Structure 1
Amino acid sequence: MPTRETDISTGNPALDDILGGGLTCNRIYLLDGHPGTGKTTVGIQFLLDGIARGERGLYVSLSETKNELHAIAHSHGWTLDGINIYELIDASDSLNAESQYTMFHPSEVELGETTKRMLQEVERLNPQRVVIDSLSELRLLAQNPLRYRRQILALKQFFVGRDCTAIFLDDKTSSDTDLQLQSIAHGVISLDRVPTDFGDERRRLRIIKYRGREFVGGWHDFHIERGGVKIFPRIATANDEMNGRKQPTLLKSGNESIDKLLGDGIAPGTSTLMLGPTGVGKSTCSTLFAATACARGERAVIFTFDETKSTLIARSTNLGMDLVQLEESGKLEIIQVNPGDITPGQFAHMVRQSILPNQEGIPASIVIIDSLNGYLSSMPEERFLQIQMHELLNYLANCGVATFLIVAQHGMLGPTNQTPIDASYLSDNVVLFRYFEAAGEIRQAVSVVKKRDGRHERSIREFRMTNGEIIVGEPLYDFHGVLVGTPTYTGKPGDLLKNRGKDV
């Protein structure tokens, strides 16, 4: 039996981390949320954890039957053996005319009787963990805030000194938020379910209050799946968990011209923005960095939002990158993401898990997010994207992971190219790709416009993907206006026609 002032687990390791180590034992807690947000599931997990530790648990149900609770447990693959379930549901004869009260208001009789039976059961079993589901039934019986608050205070005083940790569930059926109840509880956990315009709904939780304890504030996404509630804590919970890992040397692409543009390579722990219209070579160039890192014995992870895994593999194979062999060796992981079925918190959790050391003890050194346009689609509101991405990039930088962010601009040619979001200030390096027209041909150009941690080449070079190769040509000395997509040729006309179809 845990002693006073020690912590006990909620049965969910992620929730324990958010709470700063779990729940202070021998206190009462409020777990509130609208119907269907997962309160019952969290409560059962709490009791099951106690059973596993040899502690007696009691589930007091004021609204659900034993059969319903067993059905919920069965859906998660659990058994409630060992948990005492006490039903406090009105008897069937309450609908009979003979059972209706005439001299006393029903609340004066039913509330006192309900509370009395509940406390008698707690005294009889003397459990270490109790879940009361739900307080909305007591609120309805009390019928006025004063009686209800007094009843909750009486319950709190009853549990004090009993070496018992109690979680009260509340389904928020009252018209107003019950701040009085929150003020009585030692800690308050709130569950929420938010519908989205498209795709799956978003579930999230936050800690509203926890006396005497530092906790991770803000909203944390979660899913209800077989096996319980799976929580994806905000990335702030693990900013330093991988500090001190061995830092690799400069990351090179394996293409001498690209590395020269970038000042001999990308520094570990930096973020690189690949910016340009669709099809210009952004994903291919970043994949080249990943394949080269894997060839050096490092690990890389690619999150693809926009194209299928098979398309990425086929396109890379045509350019001499065997991603299948790299995957089979365990050095490369390609994760296809459906923006409609993922929340920002879940994606951040996926990234955190993907860079952890594999079975050989090798952590990932490169993460590619292809693309931010697809990531933006997973956000409920666009203004949150920069904050989410800022936290994620800071975390990856602390871990020494180089990140490549792919952003597809709207439009193909000319000065109308626009980005869905300005992420350039978040990135340490910015590589700009452009289409331009010359001698009746559509050509591609590449340049590095920003590198925070060192020198880089400032020339604009032609970029080609042809015959299974990635070719970076000579600087475009004879062109002016390539970056805006409307270049002017200042060289000799004969030279332009002579070089038609070749590298400039």
Structure 2
Amino acid sequence: MVKPTVDISSGNETLDAILGGGLTANRIYLLDGHPGAGKTTLGLQFLLEGVRLGEKGLYVSLSETKDELYGIAESHGWDLSEIDIYELVDTTNSLDAESQYTIFQPSEVELGETTRRMLERVEAQNPRRVVIDSLSELRLLAQNPLRYRRQILALKQFFVGRDCTAIFLDDKTSSDNDLQLQSLAHGVVSLDRNPSEFGDERRRLRIVKFRGRHFVSGWHDFDIERGGVQIYPRIEAAYHELSWAKKSRVLSGNESLDALLGEGVAPGTSTLMLGPAGVGKSSCSTLFAVTACKRGERAVIFVFDESKETLRMRSAGLGMDLEEFEKSGLLEIHSVNPGDVSPGRFAYLVRQAVQPREDGARVSVVVIDSLNGYLSAMPEERFLQIQMHELLHYLGSCGISTFLIVAQHGMLGASMKTPVDASYLADTVILFRYFEAAGEIRQAISVVKKRDGTHERSIRELHMGDGKIRVGEPLRAFHGVLAGTPTYKGDINELIDRGSATRGSNV
């Protein structure tokens, strides 16, 4: 009769979710990664979870001393007193001349002795959870792949039927791509650590294999923080769809701008705001967030390119008091440093920020300012569209309207370039431009794409000043818009009067 399988926790809640519910009990697993990737930290979390559940744990150390492990635990605020730490390296007489082997090859004697002592300790303690750190020492003692595989296979047979779950750590120090244990282990988790050219190094993990279980494949970013490993799972939008009631259209509160958009944008859609620096993209997106807060809905703004205080001051100058809504809890502003955050961590921050609160208040608007900053956090530019597609799909499934800001390089004409083409990802594209009229540089706004309905195809003037954002009447006499250097040939009286607030729509 086959015993039913039982799931046990790895000690990391997020890793359990990625694994589809946790580890299958009474199996052996491989946790591999380069030195400093976080293997020991995850191994200790696994044993500490057993302590919490009243299970015996054994840490077999072939390389690190007990004091070094206590030092790691202290940095995380952990207590290892309930875990049996067994040092297999005897440092007291290893350098004595009398202790050196002369007749037999040292590896032949040491490998058998090391394995025997390890198994004796397991039999004496009868633990439910075991971590062996690390297999690279056994590989060096074995000296050849055949002996190493036989030794690992013997260890696997030893743990079978012992009501014990074992995790083997491996630091990938072998010169060849060693797949010996991967073929024998029930599951394999691989950790990776990549130094970046600037900012923090990037850590990530992936499940190489897990027999008989569906898991979230691909790379998942993670950080090592005080308290353990913090994992940021890759978004699988198809498995994270949330139910949301049908909402009314999302409006900016500016009648002319909403008319240009065909009465606002639909909930759950994404809007790309594209144009050169300083043309008004961020201010218009903030307008949607503030108007949502005025309706009693929540909004979240992620700022890459400026500080929170700068955003507050700039918005206050246009009649938008962000601090008022922050104090009420309707508005959250997150300042993101591209050098310190990985794309996976940023996606995790977004998902955490939009979770419904206990009072039932949901987020209706998310602003990402700007995509240029997000691109800086993603050096592999070819993957940015895929990352953004998954994030926008997730937000759309939650009924959240997302506003993406993209600053084009250059100011006018052919010199203007877009760092990444995300227009095909967005449901709506709003184009901002500078134009020349009567010896002045002015701003223009137009909607060039909208999937969910009709919109105006006219170009309107945009003016920010006197504490207001104003959108003028449709301007027909433009030339050179598509060339990137539009000029106005019409009646100057049709433009917004800079000295009066009577023309155009106010906030």
TM tier relative to shorter chain: over 0.9
Aligned mates of 1:142, 1:402 — CA distance in 2: 59
Shift of 1:361: 2.1
Aligned mates of 1:498, 1:456 — CA distance in 2: 22
* 1:436 equivalent in alignment to 2:450: no
Aligned mates of 2:417, 2:432 — CA distance in 1: 13
> What's the counterpart of residue 470 of structure 1?
469
Give the secondary structure class of the aligned counterpart of 1:426: coil
Deviations 1:383-432 (A, max 9, x none): 11111111111111111111000000111122332110000000000000
Aligned mates of 2:153, 2:242 — CA distance in 1: 46
Q: Is the 8 A contact 1:34 1:192 kept in 2?
A: yes
Shift of 1:81: 1.9
Aligned mates of 1:22, 1:4 — CA distance in 2: 15
Q: Is the 8 A contact 2:132 2:169 kept in 1?
A: yes
Alpha-carbon RMSD: 1.7
Aligned mates of 2:21, 2:494 — CA distance in 1: 68
Aligned mates of 2:177, 2:95 — CA distance in 1: 31
Which amino acid is the alignment partner of residue 440 of structure 1? G
Gaps of 5+ in 1: none
Shift of 1:239: 4.3
Q: Is the 8 A contact 1:4 1:26 kept in 2?
A: no
Aligned mates of 1:411, 1:107 — CA distance in 2: 66
Shift of 1:455: 0.7
**Alignment of structure 1 residues 282-321 onto 2, 5 Å:** 282-321=281-320
* 1:11 equivalent in alignment to 2:11: yes
> What's the counterpart of residue 138 of structure 2?
138
**Alignment of structure 1 residues 59-78 onto 2, 5 Å:** 59-78=59-78
Which amino acid is the alignment partner of residue 356 of structure 1? Q
**Alignment of structure 1 residues 260-299 onto 2, 5 Å:** 260-299=259-298
Give the secondary structure class of the aligned counterpart of 2:197: coil
TM-score, structure 2 length as denominator? Answer: 0.96
* 1:343 equivalent in alignment to 2:333: no
> What's the counterpart of residue 101 of structure 2?
101
> What's the counterpart of residue 205 of structure 1?
205
Give the secondary structure class of the aligned counterpart of 2:424: helix
Flag the 1:488–1:117 CA change in 2: closer, same or farther, 3 A.
closer
**Alignment of structure 1 residues 391-410 onto 2, 5 Å:** 391-410=390-409
Which amino acid is the alignment partner of residue 451 of structure 2? R
Deviations 1:457-503 (A, max 9, x none): 110000101211111111111222234343354446x7589978776
Aligned mates of 1:261, 1:308 — CA distance in 2: 30
> What's the counterpart of residue 352 of structure 2?
353
Aligned mates of 2:223, 2:357 — CA distance in 1: 25
* 1:224 equivalent in alignment to 2:245: no
- Could you tell which deviates more after superposition, 360-369 or 418-427? 360-369
> What's the counterpart of residue 329 of structure 1?
328
Aligned mates of 1:434, 1:440 — CA distance in 2: 16
* 1:384 equivalent in alignment to 2:375: no
Q: Is the 8 A contact 1:276 1:434 kept in 2?
A: yes
**Alignment of structure 1 residues 159-174 onto 2, 5 Å:** 159-174=159-174
Flag the 1:357–1:93 CA change in 2: closer, same or farther, 3 A.
same
> What's the counterpart of residue 157 of structure 1?
157
Which amino acid is the alignment partner of residue 40 of structure 1? T
Q: Is the 8 A contact 2:435 2:487 kept in 1?
A: no
Q: Is the 8 A contact 1:31 1:168 kept in 2?
A: yes
Q: Is the 8 A contact 1:51 1:82 kept in 2?
A: yes
Shift of 1:51: 0.9
* 1:256 equivalent in alignment to 2:255: yes
Give the secondary structure class of the aligned counterpart of 1:81: coil
Aligned mates of 2:240, 2:254 — CA distance in 1: 34
> What's the counterpart of residue 372 of structure 2?
373
Shift of 1:173: 1.0
> What's the counterpart of residue 22 of structure 1?
22
Shift of 1:94: 2.1
Aligned mates of 1:312, 1:206 — CA distance in 2: 38
- Could you tell which deviates more after superposition, 93-102 or 419-428? 93-102
Aligned mates of 2:92, 2:480 — CA distance in 1: 83
Aligned mates of 2:495, 2:91 — CA distance in 1: 94
Shift of 1:376: 0.4
Give the secondary structure class of the aligned counterpart of 1:139: helix
Aligned mates of 1:46, 1:36 — CA distance in 2: 18
Flag the 1:334–1:439 CA change in 2: closer, same or farther, 3 A.
same
Aligned mates of 1:368, 1:60 — CA distance in 2: 49
> What's the counterpart of residue 195 of structure 2?
195
Q: Is the 8 A contact 1:370 1:406 kept in 2?
A: yes
Which amino acid is the alignment partner of residue 53 of structure 1? L
Shift of 1:178: 1.2
Shift of 1:252: 0.5
Which amino acid is the alignment partner of residue 324 of structure 2? Q
Give the secondary structure class of the aligned counterpart of 1:274: strand
> What's the counterpart of residue 119 of structure 2?
119
Q: Is the 8 A contact 1:130 1:167 kept in 2?
A: yes
Deviations 1:24-55 (A, max 9, x none): 00000000011111100000000000111111
Shift of 1:266: 0.9
Aligned mates of 1:309, 1:443 — CA distance in 2: 27
Deviations 1:338-358 (A, max 9, x none): 000000000000000000012
Which amino acid is the alignment partner of residue 211 of structure 1? R
Give the secondary structure class of the aligned counterpart of 2:360: coil
Which amino acid is the alignment partner of residue 318 of structure 1? G
Deviations 1:310-337 (A, max 9, x none): 0100011111111001000000000000
Aligned mates of 1:4, 1:150 — CA distance in 2: 29
> What's the counterpart of residue 416 of structure 2?
417
Aligned mates of 2:139, 2:497 — CA distance in 1: 83
Which amino acid is the alignment partner of residue 286 of structure 2? T
Q: Is the 8 A contact 1:439 1:497 kept in 2?
A: no
Q: Is the 8 A contact 1:439 1:496 kept in 2?
A: no
Q: Is the 8 A contact 1:186 1:210 kept in 2?
A: yes
Of all paired residues, the percent bearing the same amino acid is: 72
Q: Is the 8 A contact 1:76 1:228 kept in 2?
A: yes
* 1:453 equivalent in alignment to 2:457: no
> What's the counterpart of residue 39 of structure 1?
39
Aligned mates of 1:491, 1:85 — CA distance in 2: 83
Aligned mates of 1:452, 1:498 — CA distance in 2: 30
Flag the 1:488–1:318 CA change in 2: closer, same or farther, 3 A.
closer
Give the secondary structure class of the aligned counterpart of 1:385: helix
Q: Is the 8 A contact 1:299 1:332 kept in 2?
A: yes
Gaps of 5+ in 2: none
Give the secondary structure class of the aligned counterpart of 1:419: coil
Aligned mates of 1:270, 1:117 — CA distance in 2: 62
TM-score, structure 1 length as denominator? Answer: 0.96
Give the secondary structure class of the aligned counterpart of 1:82: coil
> What's the counterpart of residue 364 of structure 1?
363
Aligned mates of 1:166, 1:497 — CA distance in 2: 74
Flag the 1:489–1:337 CA change in 2: closer, same or farther, 3 A.
closer
